Amino acid sequence: MTLYAGIDCGTQSTKVIIADNRTARILGEGSASHPMISESDGSREQEAVWWTDALQTAFAQAIKNAGIDGRDIRALAVSGQQHGFVPVSHDGTVLAPAKLWCDTSTSAENQWFIDALGGEQAALDRLGVLPQTGYTVSKIIRFKQQHPELWKQLRYVLLPHDYLNFWLTGQACAEYGDASGTGLLNIRSREWDQAAADLIDPEGRLWQALPPLVRAEQIIGTVRPEIAEKLGISPETRVASGGGDNMMAAIGTGNIRPGITTMSLGTSGTLFTFAEQPVVADSAMIAGFCSSSNGWLPLICTMNVTSATTTVQSLLGMDIQAFNDALNSSKPGAGGLIMLPFFNGERVPQLPEARASLHNMDGSNLTPQNLSLAVVESATYGLRFGIDLFRQQGITTSEIRLTGGGARSVKWRQIVADIMAAPVVCVTNQEAAALGAAVQAIWCDTLSADSAPEAQLAALCDRFVQLDDSSRTQPDPANVAVYESLYQNYLALLTSEYPEVTV
């Protein structure tokens, strides 16, 4: 056996998988949860020690479940939740709880930064992305303003995956893909933007605190002996660059070639696809991130997918089987019901203050079956809005690879295929980010001069990423036509309720 580990430190838990490169099999998995600090002002924070404690627990589970000697693991890589801010001092101390991607308390700081750059278009022109409230940069500004004494101790600005790499190896660095979600990286040149950093801190401490950048296929070091002992692995275990969770999930779904779109039907909805050139979109709703496969990863996130369907399911008192039965007993269009499913506001389109609403009700169509279908259709229309933004940038979709809880529904898969007018298929391993990290560890450890790095990664993805042929769903031409008309009705309702939205 030639063993590798993939680590995914997400918002709710840390997961570890052990993979055998010779057989392309997952031998064992482990998981441990971590809490979150939530405040009424929108703050969402975690202590970095919660991640390292969870990593040790999950690693021990994975080794035990795999039935292996952990010292046989050759290399590992870390996937981490994007956009978080871990401030680290000269002696490696974490100076404050890490603010997370879902922290909305720094909207004023984010707007200040955009204004300082010269406005939205100037920010796009300069960085290639429009910083959002969830990005790292506004968290840095808040830290500097509210903790001036701690600011003086700052040595490194690290993202969650960067911090875990630092904990593992003692090396502080950042990888292009994850770094492009900070709001301080020029995504075209893949360089930190010093002028942007100096707007925040003219004295230069921030510029000095931004860690060196590394390529996706780079080994950054080996595990420190004291950490290797805690994890039950060899101190010679190599640590690959790793990346953000979306970048690792792209590798874990084989989304490293143009034409494939990964779509997550999770609590929120995520769309991303591979591009060979930087995507600096006309729309600020597309995040033109770098990928962790030496390309770019334009990404869109909607806020209401299974969060919306679960709300309706709970209202109706249905379990998941009853909800799916209801979906199967209603026809496209839900008897005329149309929902704007903005229970959590919305990010794409940019409607943070929006609320959900139900339209076109009458005495005959307000049934549990139609309501169930209406929320699924509307959540999917939101993702179609994102697909259309991609198409406006010349990004084509020949296949959609589905992940997330909603992908388990046969009916929902068909609805996605029909609304998007594209074939869909599920991946067999739902821990796409952890699998992507394991594949990246193999890539970095086995890289040779025989062919281009990207070709070697593609060969690994072809071996490890398994598609569920039983889930393959082709669009139904008749339903495609019906849903095209229904989607236009949805857009008409959306723009009448929210005139600021352009389509």
- Reduced 3-state DSSP string for 20-32: ECCCCEEEEEEEE
Can you spell out the DSSP letters for 122-158? HHHHHHSS---TTSHHHHHHHHHHH-HHHHTTEEEEE
Which residue type occupies 122? A
CB atoms within 10 A of CB 183: 27
First-to-last alpha carbon distance for the chain, in angstroms, is 53
83 assigned to a ligand binding site: yes
For residues 330 and 338, the answer to whether their CB atoms sit within 8 Å is no
H-type alpha helices, 14-106: 48-66
82 assigned to a ligand binding site: yes
Segment (H or E) for 340:
strand 338-340
For residues 221 and 169, the answer to whether their CB atoms sit within 8 Å is yes
Q: What distance in Å separates the CA atoms of residue 304 and residue 280, rounded to the nearest whole number? A: 25
For residues 83 and 162, the answer to whether their CB atoms sit within 8 Å is no
- One of 245, 418, 462, 469 is an active-site residue; which one? 245
**Side-chain half-sphere exposure of 317, counting CA atoms within 13 A:** 0
Residue 467 per-residue DSSP state: E
Q: Residue 189: is it exposed, middle or buried by C-beta count within 10 angstroms (0-12/13-18/19+)?
A: exposed
Q: What distance in Å separates the CA atoms of residue 177 and residue 192, rounded to the nearest whole number? A: 12
Q: What distance in Å separates the CA atoms of residue 424 and residue 265, rounded to the nearest whole number? A: 12
Q: What distance in Å separates the CA atoms of residue 400 and residue 470, rounded to the nearest whole number? A: 15
Q: What distance in Å separates the CA atoms of residue 193 and residue 198, rounded to the nearest whole number? A: 9
Mark whether 245 is an active-site residue. yes
Q: What distance in Å separates the CA atoms of residue 193 and residue 206, rounded to the nearest whole number? A: 11
Show binding-site residues for substrate.
82-83
- Positions marked catalytic: 245
Binding-site residues, please? Answer: 82-83
